[in-house]
Copies of this chain bind each other. A is one copy, B any other.
Amino acid sequence: MKKIYNPNRNSWSEILKRPTQTVADIEDIVLQVFDEIKKEGDQAVDRYTQKFDQVSLDNILVSSEEIEQAKELVSQELKDAIQLAKSNITVFHAAQKTNKISVDTNVGIECWQEKRPIQKVGLYIPGGTAPLFSTILMLTIPANLAGCEEIVLCSPPNREGKIHPAILYTADLCGVTKICKVGGIQAIAGMTFGTETIPQVYKIFGPGNQFVTVAKQLATKFGVAIDMPAGPSELLVVADDTANASFVASDLLSQAEHGKDSQVILVSTSKTMIDQVEEEIIKQVNVLPRKEIAEGAIANSKLIYVESNMEAIELINEYGPEHFIVCVEDEDFYIDKIVNAGSVFIGNYTPESAGDYASGTNHTLPTNGYAKQYSGVNLDSFMKSMTFQKISEKGIQTIGNAIELMAEAEGLQAHKNAVTLRLESLK
């Protein structure tokens, strides 16, 4: 890990640079798959499942028998853990419900805002050896609370044509309406256009590799919304002498194990803490099964010493971390002043992995500095806000003339006329 002392403000953007991704060479294949699935539907999906997942399926829909089998294969203690997580996530996301907001903006002018569910949503869950069932909790719980009618889940089959039982168990538990064994670009294209089997959806959520990321970006060109642009996972910890170096090191490593392109950063006003954390990382990384990956990410990462809390928070807001752990004496300073972060973890007993699984907050968060302008997934991600207005005769008489003047000044005579006709009818 690079140690950096008192970096000059001009060098911040260089120091805080994320490992870059190149996607240009992926775009061609993504465009091709989209094109073929748009034209040929299921037939093209099957072709690409054979090509990319090396399996041929009679039916890409998961059957109720498969779900029953999955239920038997998941241990009771994991089921209990999932249930606890589900309960906490439900409590936090249910609290995010907002009521209708209604005001009379002027005499006889009633305006209100209401949120309505996105009717059809699609979730993508990657395959591989690590089944990300926790992401299913994070996406289906708010989708159901929002009232989405159709919740489609796509996940790639393994070479035996199966999906991991923990994924099937969680999807069933959380009320997914349809599970399709389709992965990668073909899953995103399928949910974008709809095929004979895969339903077309209005918004697509969920993580994935570079192919999935580029496919989701392309989906937006065809009128489908996505949760947010994706990037490698990242964590920034701010720690002073009140922090526990061993805990801090374990948190940094927990993000580092995600992938070699993950990035972890420690910012501290204590040189001692920086040295202690460095030592702890070297000690702890050795016992990790994903040691090689974690070491790759650690190589991208930095330990940064700054002289004051003020300088620290400015640097942190410039970076905009996905996950931000605060282990300092003056917590409130950072809680009040943080503007750009996905989710914030406060105190020595709040590891980042708590938010990944079970504290109740959502783990689908903006990476790559997108915390500057994007929210993490929350209840509103599954709804859209609509406005309503009802104007009385008295109301149009109150604001009608202003509308006429403004419409005329903008050169929009028919806009004016719609008011003039009404005002004249009231004379």
Quick check: A229 and B224 within 8 Å, CB to CB? no
Quick check: B417 and A344 within 8 Å, CB to CB? no
| Tally of this chain's copies | 2
Quick check: B111 and A253 within 8 Å, CB to CB? no
Interface residues on A, range: 35 or more
Q: A340 CA to B386 CA in the complex, in Å?
A: 8
Quick check: A221 and B217 within 8 Å, CB to CB? yes
Quick check: B391 and A350 within 8 Å, CB to CB? yes
Interface of A is mostly: mixed
Quick check: B370 and A401 within 8 Å, CB to CB? no
Q: CB of A84 within 8 A of chain B?
A: yes
- Given A343-B388, A354-B391, the answer on whether A413 and B257 have CB atoms closer than 8 Å is yes
Quick check: B374 and A410 within 8 Å, CB to CB? no
Q: CB of A131 within 8 A of chain B?
A: yes
Q: CB of A390 within 8 A of chain B?
A: yes
Q: Which residues of B contact A378 (CB under 8 A)?
A: 113, 385, 387
Q: CB of A81 within 8 A of chain B?
A: yes
Min distance, Cβ A136 to any Cβ of chain B, angstroms: 11
Min distance, Cβ A222 to any Cβ of chain B, angstroms: 10
Q: A87 CA to B129 CA in the complex, in Å?
A: 57
Q: A35 CA to B264 CA in the complex, in Å?
A: 31
> Of B105, B133, B354, which one neighbours A396 at CB under 8 angstroms?
B354
Interface residues of A (CB under 8 A from B): 77-78, 80-82, 84-85, 87-89, 91-92, 95-96, 98, 101-103, 105-106, 109, 111, 113, 116-119, 129-134, 166, 202-203, 217, 220-221, 223-225, 229, 244, 246-247, 250-251, 253-254, 256-258, 284, 288-290, 294, 335, 338-362, 366, 368-376, 378, 380, 384-393, 395-396, 399, 401-403, 405-407, 409-419, 421-422, 425
16 additional A-B residue pairs with CB within 8 Å, beyond A349-B422, A354-B399, A354-B419: A81-B406, A88-B111, A105-B359, A109-B359, A111-B361, A130-B410, A131-B410, A166-B409, A223-B229, A244-B425, A250-B417, A290-B412, A349-B393, A351-B419, A355-B387, A356-B415
